[in-house]
Amino acid sequence: MAAPPPPHEIIIVPAPGQPGREELRQQCYDVRIDVFHHEQGFPLDTEVDDLDDTATHFLLRLTPSLKPIGTIRCAKMDGYYKLSRLAVLKDYRKYRFGRALVQSLHDFVKVDAKTPGSRVSDTVKVACHSQIPVKGFYGK
């Protein structure tokens, strides 16, 4: 049997303008840089893009240490939501944390799409920005 996951929590980084956003969003960036730049070799200067300012960021961290180990981002587009920048640090993979982050994003979307003024119809569409080798993960 696989080892149980270490104690953890997934938090939503405060919205733009709210206290704590910058520090927690930086922790999301640090995980992304570790995975996409250092591990996968993508350029550092494209890691943060113009969606990051308004996106909803999710941070996975260990408890009680609060060490950041994973992240995902949800951007509200015109009529749909875009999932991107999913990353879990190498040492913490295969604990179903990737799945938990996608589930947290889905839970958020279900609530957000119902808020008054949301430009999203009854059927909520989440588009996934994915690398080809990870297609199997998203399929599950």
Residue whose C-beta lies closest to ligand COA: 98
Contact call for residue 87 and ligand COA (CB under 6 A): yes
Pairing of strands 56-62, 126-128: unpaired
Cβ(82)–Cβ(129) below 8 Å: yes
Contact call for residue 68 and ligand COA (CB under 6 A): no
Q: Which span sits near ligand COA by CB under 6 A: 18-26, 57-65, 116-124, 130-138?
A: 130-138
The encoded tokens of residue 93 equal 């993979």
The encoded tokens of residue 110 equal 């279900």
**Identity of the residue, 96 or 110, whose beta carbon is nearer to ligand COA in the bound complex:** 96
Among residues 44, 66, 127, 134, the one that binds ligand COA under rule CB under 6 A: 134
Among residues 59, 86, 105, 120, the one that binds ligand COA under rule CB under 6 A: 86
**Identity of the residue, 86 or 120, whose beta carbon is nearer to ligand COA in the bound complex:** 86
- As a whole number of angstroms, the distance between CA 137 and CA 33 comes to 21
What values do phi and psi take at 125, rounded to 5? -110, 130
The encoded tokens of residue 54 equal 């308004």
Q: How far is CA 58 from the centre of its chain?
A: 5
Residues that bind ligand COA (CB under 6 A): 35, 86-88, 93-99, 130-131, 133-134, 136-137, 140
